[in-house]
Chains A and B, each alone.
Chain A
Amino acid sequence: MSIPITLTVNGIPRTVALEDPRVTLLDLLRERLDLTGSKKGCDRGQCGACTVLLDGRRVNACLALAVSHDGAHVTTIEGLARDGELHPVQAAFIAHDGFQCGFCTPGQIVSAVGLIQEGQAGDDPERIREGMSGNLCRCGAYAGITEAVATAHAAMAGASGLPGGYLREDAA
């Protein structure tokens, strides 16, 4: 039984006939659509290397069954630059040396784009570290990553509005 599904990937509608419902979103992107920027680190939700934006929200593509997301919009690392211009988060990772080997980097960058859009972290380094804790870096480039996210957040200021997470009526 072949199951046809359509995803809009980096703005382009793509229809794929799945021969088997076991295909994850990560394998679909990498093996069927040749988008190998999203990495397979653990394949079990533990490292964040596979992070993509699914309908605008960062998720682990390795634990999402592709068939369940028929009709969704997906943004991968390949879809962030516009007209040859790097996304501000990409530029900030270069400026701050936010990587060493680069394996975790696509996931880090997409996750940072998601974090900034969620508007919970602001430029507080502690909140940035917590908000990025789903992305492990074996090279330990965390100091540069945190700086890069803070810089990109400032460059994109206004995109996310006020930081959220208030628990009391009288606050905020």
Chain B
Amino acid sequence: MNRFDYVRAGSVAEAIAAGAEPGAAYLAAGTNLVDLMKGGIARPERIVDITRLPDLDRIERLPDGATRIGALVRNSDLAHDPDFARSYPAVAEALLAGASAQLRNAATAAGNVLQRTRCQYFYDVASACNKRAPGSGCEAIGGVTRAHAVLGWSAHCIATNPSDFAVPLAALDAVVEIEGSAGRREVALEAFHRLPGDAPERETALEAGELVVALRLPPEAAGFAAHARYLKVRERTSYAFALVSAAVALRMEGSRIAEARIALGGVALKPWRCREAEAALADREATPEAFRATAEAALAGAEPSGDNAFKIELARRIVVRGLTLARAGTPERVPALPASPFAGAHHA
């Protein structure tokens, strides 16, 4: 790990001032940042510790019915908050399907959304990587690409975003609340992570020194609570990143779908919202044929970036399964194996 100066911020204003210095990085729980620093992938000159900032560790229900998740709310506290989990069950399930209990106890809401790609060439400082070292090339292309993107990738970077939490947040139209030296602003979560294009080193909408202070779910997000699921396919049932995941939420009127929300994880460098597929389901009967057509539409633009064509059909099937399970209704309790498509199946 490189040497760095340590600054403990006592207020948001102090954090922003210290964070605007070149080479500065914010430290929340550090479960991603410290890991990257140990590997020499991140080499900040100054660490601005934001864990003591007041009032950012609260979950607030706002008068209009929106919910504001403070940047420092721990992943496990959010997932186990009874009101939150009942209002946004797919978000709770996604959180509980991520990492391990130890990591979720530490990890913060903003830190999770801002975690960086797990592309193994990004992690290996001996490999060329346009994201880590702009202009150096992309060693993933032509390499081992099982986990890489099938949507929104470019000739400069084919990595995926690893966050589970961000997937249902995108489906539910969450908003990122940002504080910076120029004041406060908001960005839709869907527009927060950037696709790689020709500048994969620019990862989010944050400008240097800007701090995420909260994530907000709009009032209508709770309207999907009765029919919402998160499904995640990984190489093992727990403690593994997604190969493909999907957040699916329906607003039902009888047997008819009034409104559908679908977002995919593990397929692109951002949580992938499937708006056209959603629109085609609105005001339709919830039939298997409609679900399969929706899945086709959701992956319409997909293309393998290497040895990962399997992800495209896998994602279609996860969309169908997600829609089928969401239609059947949110389970009473988070399944014993959260987000597992094998939950309920017999394990030897």
Contacts and interface: CB of A to CB of B under 8 A. Distances in A.
Interface of A: 3, 20-22, 24, 43-45, 48, 51, 54, 57-60, 63-65, 67-68, 111, 114-115, 118, 120, 124, 126-127, 129-135, 164-172
A167 B331 contact: yes
Contacts of A22: 1, 3-4
B103 A167 contact: no
Interface in B186-225: none
Contact of B102 (A24, A48, A65, A169): A48
A44 B105 contact: no
A20 B3 contact: yes
B337 A130 contact: yes
A68 B101 contact: no
A130 B106 CA distance: 18
B38 A167 contact: no
A65 B34 contact: yes
Most B C-beta atoms less than 10 A away, residue of A127, A131, A134: A134
Contacts of B332: 166-168, 170-172
A43 B76 CA distance: 22
B27 interface: yes
B86 A169 contact: yes
A167 B101 contact: no
Most A C-beta atoms less than 10 A away, residue of B6, B102, B331: B102
Interface in B227-261: 237-239
A171 B51 contact: no
A164 B34 contact: no
Interface in B83-105: 85-86, 89, 92, 96, 99-103, 105
B328 to A, nearest CB: 13
B338 A130 contact: yes
B10 interface: no
A57 B75 CA distance: 13
B60 interface: no
A115 B104 CA distance: 12
A167 B334 contact: yes
Contacts of A164: 80, 82
A22 B30 CA distance: 12
Nearest to A61: B102
A48 B3 CA distance: 26
Nearest to B96: A165
Nearest to B338: A130
A44 B38 contact: yes
Contact of B105 (A43, A59, A67): A59
B331 to A, nearest CB: 6
B154 interface: no
A130 B34 contact: no
Interface in B1-58: 1, 3-6, 8, 27, 29-31, 34-35, 38-39, 47, 49, 51
A165 B85 contact: yes
A44 B237 CA distance: 20
Contact of B336 (A65, A127, A166): A127
Contacts of B6: 3, 21, 67
B331 A126 contact: no
B117 interface: no
Contacts of B35: 44-45, 63
Most A C-beta atoms less than 10 A away, residue of B47, B96, B105: B105
A165 B96 CA distance: 10
B336 A63 contact: no
A135 B101 CA distance: 9
Contact of B330 (A68, A165, A167): A167
Contacts of A171: 332-333
Given A44-B38, A64-B30, A58 B333 contact: no
Interface in B322-348: 330-334, 336-338, 347
A108 B51 CA distance: 27
A126 B38 CA distance: 34
A135 to B, nearest CB: 8
A29 B80 CA distance: 30
